[in-house]
Amino acid sequence: MATTPKTAERFTNWAGNQACEPRATESPASEAEVQALVRAAQQVRCVGTGHSFSPVCLTGGTLLRMNRMSGVTDIDRGTGRVTALPGTPVGAFGSPLWDAGLALGNQGDIDTQGIAGAVATATHGSGIEHQSFSATVRRMRLVTAGGEVLELGENDARLAAAQVALGMLGVITELELQAVPAYRLAERVEHWTWEDASGRLEELDRAHRHYSFFWIPAESSAALYGLSTPEGATLADSCYVKIYDEAGDGVPDSDEPGRRVGRSYLIYPMTFEPNFHELEYFVPYDRGAEAVAAMRELMLARLPDSIFPMEVRTVAADESWLSHSYERPSVVISVAGMPGTDYEPYLRDVDRLLGEFDARVHWGKLHYLTAEQLHARYPRALDFIALRRELDPRGVFLNDHLRELFA
């Protein structure tokens, strides 16, 4: 199939901190079009909605925008399996799955990302019993560097590599995910002291479906994420706590702020403006409370650079080779820098501190991981690199950012 490259378009991500000028920008509408474009290109990267803060999508070659390959294409009520195209937004799964008596097992605060990107970067929600999107993948089709279609199923050991691959093994053209029976959530959003929120992290995490909190370092911090707090309350060194539990049939739906009850996919999302640049690291669960306390001390020492709240969540262990939670549950620590300020020294201090806790990274967020650290902190890193070289010996799917780590 012959293709004519389109005029190059400058790409800028959602937050405005990453940009590139591809040689060509394409929007394929089918797997066959993806094959032809990959065969004709020297370098290929893909982008959905551009929610990554890291340079993972950047390229001077061909940028594939996957928004035309979108939609839930099949739902098997019996097995709970749902098939979708790569550009399907996370939020688009909610209604069709609900109508089939199903739901995604977990979600994060943002539901506008394309599912392939969410999977490729191990995007997640919260809860020690709940894994990332990547771990729910049961089958995947991708176009490899030679333009061939590779289908990986549950009996193929390579699926664990492809579940979190940052687009380095090929262009995802179809995904099959494991859904769960539909459920409703009851929300509790409250303003707690630091001691109450952090001191009982493991207890509360195991007592609820989801327990997470934002620690607010300064009086002006809460407004940066649109967090509401009781009138007259002192905000500095306090926490905005979120607790979600499944709601029984006898609990009516509610739109009351901080006490909403309803379908899971309607309760999860929050609205964020891209007025921050985020770093997110994952430390072993059994060292999580220690790491969070150390972060608080660092942030108090580094104001005003660290004025954004620190978010603390948890995520279950999984078997995806490049996952932040490969073979270990994690405490998730997220911080951000203010656009337009020199926040890098602060974030590098965060990187050094959490490195002492064997921290892994969110591939779609800012990070400072080196190749040496990759090999030390990710037990299957060398296996992944060997497979990447086998499937893509010319490095078609690498960019400068990824080449430093995975070439």
Model confidence pLDDT, tens digit, residues 229-272? 778 888 999 999 999 999 999 999 999 999 999 999 999 998 77
CB neighbour list of residue 146: distance below 8 Å, 6 or more residues apart: 38, 39
pLDDT at position 230 is: 77
> How is residue 365 annotated by DSSP?
S
Indicate the burial class of 250 (C-beta count within 10 angstroms; 0-12, 13-18, 19 or more): exposed
Question: Identity (one letter) of the amino acid at 151?
Answer: E
Residues of the chain with pLDDT under 70: 1-8
What single string gives the DSSP state of each residue in 100-168?
Answer: TTEE-S---S---SBHHHHHHTT----BTT---SGGGEEEEEEE-TTS-EEEE-TT-TTHHHHTT-TTS
Indicate the burial class of 230 (C-beta count within 10 angstroms; 0-12, 13-18, 19 or more): exposed
pLDDT at position 270 is: 85
pLDDT at position 6 is: 55
The owner of tokens 């009516």 is: 252
pLDDT at position 319 is: 98
pLDDT at position 1 is: 45
97, containing H or E segment: helix 94-99
Closest C-alpha to 142, from 112, 121, 166: 166
Q: Tell the CATH topology of 184-368.
A: Alpha-Beta Plaits (3.30.70)
Rounded to an integer, what distance in angstroms lies between the CA atom of residue 249 and that of residue 135?
A: 29
pLDDT at position 7 is: 55
pLDDT at position 360 is: 98
Q: pTM for this structure?
A: 0.95
Q: Quick check: 109 and 268 in contact, CB under 8 A?
A: yes
pLDDT at position 8 is: 65
